[in-house]
Amino acid sequence: MTLSFGTAGVRAPLGPGPDRMNDGTVAMVATAVARHLRMREPAGSTVIVGGDARHGSAGFVDVAAAVLTAHGLLVVVPGAPVPTPVVAAAVRARGAVAGLMVTASHNPATDNGIKVYGPGGAQIVPPTDSEIEQHLRAAAREGVAVPDAGAPGARVDPTLVDDYVASVVAGLPTPARPPRVALTPVHGVGGEICRRVLAGIGVDDVTLVAEQAYPDPDFPTVDSPNPERPRTTMRLLGVAEEIGADVALALDPDADRCAMGFVGADGRWRMLDGDDTGSLLADHLLTSPLPGSVRTTGNGPGTPVVASTIVSSRLPSLLVPARGGRHVETLTGFKWLVRAGQPLRYAYEEAIGHCVLPEVVADKDGISAAGAWCATVGSGGRSVGEGLDALAEEFGAHLRSNVPLPLEHGSDPAAALRRAADQLVSTGTVTPLDGTAGFRVTIPGARAVIRPSGTEPLLKTYVEAWTPARPSARDRQDAARRLVALADSVAAAVAF
């Protein structure tokens, strides 16, 4: 079995064979993309190809570049490991017809992959992905030769990075009071470029977590390079406390996601989840637009759009209209979020992905999100905790529990979903999700979304309970009880 072309590309463990990432499978993927492009684009069209610092990435970039060049395309590469947003930005800025980014993002060190962008720098969507998949199957049947090491390849253009930094800096304001920042790239490629962007907006007091500051494909100091995991950000919060930071930032290894940390009223540092971060950023970006943003309100065609997904908090659906914007809910994934509507002001997903400069990067971008956070939420004024309390006063407190529920080995996720939905009919109102597998169960003051994982044998559950505006301590306790009760009911239904 060969690699499957999934969400905007392929991702798999490194190793020999047609279902692993190696020179042969990379050549097949590049051939599939090249054949798709040559059916639609003229010879000499530009394709941007980049890679991060994972095991195999540099060689895979060379293989992909040689294959695409052999098909008559002009390939441009940055010439060094880069964050994913650099490639996405370059596709748009250089008028390229496509982009390939070699990365497995925050997956384990044993994995790698290829993400594919279309014209404009957004991740590809149907039918493009299925058409490339068909070409991939054909290439697998025919067999594709791996290019020789000396095969003609790409044009090296290191200014891709400089152009990205300049564009992001131009799109961000200068903070009123530059914060002191603790930063970790978690052994990835985003540290130095993020520091350049922060310096460009006047944030010079930046301390990197020394043990994680430079690329290392083994990710030696963490069990997982995913900043959503508490153990991954332990060192960051320690450094933040040590230096008396105002802001703590954790990029994932390819720097397309960013987690934010803050110090609470009790003096303890903790990380925010993606929904809290997204709500605070949405509030700031609608009330204090970034340079160049469209400054219109109301319900007309120029109303600024803020997008979140079907598994994200319901809070933006309340907040965004109150700030003069239009909230749009999409399927999961930034390939849908960035297509939510125009003018897109901001999009986020609960898994710490943020698109704060859609006119520069039509995808999630941890580096520009870090800059926007430092320039707005982290730039003096009220604390993060005070900001969250203010949102709760206005729109109610929102409590969440997002827990993956493993399935028995060999279980059919679709069958497990049907059984769980049948069990939960007695708990609340069950409605299927539009356009994707899964369902939502709603009770007064709480809801849960259940959907299958695309990569693992488990169901993902997203449970949320809320209070009225201006919540009392009793309101919060009641919401907490609803959250636990609904989460327990979902877990029991999945295990049934």
Question: Residue 456 corresponds to which tokens in the numbers above?
Answer: 């693992």
| Cα 116 off chain centre by | 15
Q: Which amino acid is at 449?
A: V
Q: Phi and psi at residue 262, in whole multiples of 5°?
A: -145, 160
Task: Please state the φ and ψ torsions of residue 274, each to the nearest 5 degrees.
Answer: -65, -30
Residue 283 CA to chain centroid, in angstroms? Answer: 20
Check if the beta carbon of residue 86 is closer than 8 Å to that of residue 80.
no
Instruction: Per residue of the chain (496 residues), give pLDDT as tens.
Output: 678 877 679 999 999 999 999 999 999 999 999 999 999 999 999 999 999 999 999 999 999 999 999 999 999 999 999 999 999 999 999 999 999 999 999 999 999 999 999 999 999 999 999 999 999 999 999 999 999 877 788 999 999 999 999 999 999 999 999 999 999 999 999 999 999 999 999 999 999 999 999 999 999 999 999 999 999 999 999 999 999 999 999 999 999 999 999 999 899 999 999 999 999 999 999 998 777 565 544 555 689 999 999 999 999 999 999 999 999 999 999 999 999 999 999 999 999 999 999 999 999 999 999 999 999 998 877 899 999 999 999 999 999 999 899 988 778 889 999 999 999 999 999 999 999 999 999 999 999 999 998 767 889 999 999 999 999 999 999 999 999 999 999 999 998 7
Chain centroid to Cα 91, Å, comes to 18
CB distance 73 to 244 below 8 Å: no
Can you read off the two tokens belonging to residue 144? 């594709």
Q: Is 291:372 a contact under the CB 8 Å cutoff?
A: no
Instruction: Identify the CA nearest to 85 among candidates 50, 109, 42.
Output: 50
Give this prediction's pTM: 0.95
| CA distance linking residue 140 with residue 30, whole number of Å | 12
Structure tokens at 169: 């800096």
